[in-house]
Amino acid sequence: MDINTIVLVIILAVLIYAMINNSQEKRLSAKKQKEQIAAEKENISNEEIATYGQVQERKKQLLSLIDSNLSEHPDESKQLKEIIEDWAELKIEAFQNRRSWVRATPSK
């Protein structure tokens, strides 16, 4: 073997090593990204998202409970009712945002 052949073999070996190493890094990066997306989807699926009807029903139950048990405390009763109204609005907004997010087309 002459020197040119040895240099050519070394260069080819380095190129092959670089390509293999690069593909392994890309594969690991893709695997990590896939795991992150799967974890995010799992978190989203575990969220307690109530529909509009469920929120309204729960709100109605809580307001009637306040009326029956806290009628002698009008100020506290009013505050609790406001908190429940705010909670219901947030739950409905979260439900609507999730639905619009699912239906939205991805933009780049």
Together in a domain, 105 and 81: yes
Tens-place pLDDT, residues 28-70: 999 999 999 988 888 777 666 677 888 899 999 999 999 898 8
- Predicted confidence at residue 11, as pLDDT, reads 95
- Predicted confidence at residue 3, as pLDDT, reads 92
Are 95 and 50 in contact by the 8 Å Cβ rule? The answer is yes
Whether 106 shows a pLDDT value over 60: the answer reads no
Together in a domain, 55 and 107: yes
Q: At what angle do helices 74-103 and 52-69 cross, to 10 degrees?
A: 170
Write down the pTM of the prediction.
Answer: 0.49
Together in a domain, 62 and 31: no
Tens-place pLDDT, residues 67-85: 898 888 889 999 999 999 9
Together in a domain, 107 and 54: yes
Together in a domain, 52 and 41: no
The enclosing H or E element of 32 equals helix 3-46
Together in a domain, 16 and 37: yes
Together in a domain, 58 and 27: no
Together in a domain, 40 and 58: no
Together in a domain, 55 and 99: yes
> How many folded domains does the chain comprise?
2
Are 81 and 66 in contact by the 8 Å Cβ rule? The answer is yes
Measured between alpha carbons, how far is 97 from 88 in angstroms, rounded to an integer? 14
Where in the sequence is the domain holding 5, given as residue range(s)? 1-46
